[in-house]
């Protein structure tokens, strides 16, 4: 069973601030790392899937980096907006594609 940790557990930032979260996971048997954005009453929305050490991905104001050797990934949000408020989940996956989720970081962006 993978032990996936995310920090911080929750975060409040002002609109316009930039922020980042951390996901740490065991580096052994790594296959891929997924980031999801989950708004209340909606399905989790896939943000990124990363597989290679050193990978960096970007989608608008959101970007992520991956370090498979030390077992961590960072998610960055530049210029946070109220609509960015959600729970951000990371999940490493094994070769069978099953995801092991961290407990998530709950982001609240205050206008």
Provide, rounded to whole angstroms, the least separation between the CB of residue 93 and another protein: 8
Query: What burial class does residue 52 get, using C-beta atoms within 10 Å of its C-beta: 0-12 exposed, 13-18 middle, 19+ buried?
Result: exposed
Pair 73, 53: CB distance under 8 Å: no
Question: Any contact of residue 101 with another protein (CB under 8 A)?
Answer: yes
Q: Which of residues 23-52 bind another protein (CB under 8 A)?
A: 31-32, 34, 42-44, 46, 48-49, 51
Among residues 50 and 109, whose Cβ is nearest to another protein? Answer: 50
Task: Using alpha carbons, select from 61, 54, 49 the residue that is nearest to residue 89.
Answer: 49
Which residue of 66, 102, 107, 109 would you call a contact of another protein, by CB under 8 A?
102
# binding residues, another protein (CB under 8 A): 21
């Amino acid at each position: 069973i993978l032990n996936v940790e995310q920090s911080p557990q929750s975060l409040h930032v002002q609109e316009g601030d930039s922020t980042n979260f951390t996901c740490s996971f065991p580096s052994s048997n790594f296959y891929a790392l997924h980031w999801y954005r989950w708004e209340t009453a909606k399905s989790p929305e896939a943000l990124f899937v990363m597989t290679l050490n050193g990978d960096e991905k970007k989608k608008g104001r959101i970007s992520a980096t991956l370090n498979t050797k030390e077992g961590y990934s960072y998610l960055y949000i530049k210029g946070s907006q109220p609509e960015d408020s959600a729970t951000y989940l990371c999940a490493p996956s094994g070769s069978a594609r099953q995801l092991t989720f961290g407990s998530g970081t709950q982001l609240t962006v205050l206008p």
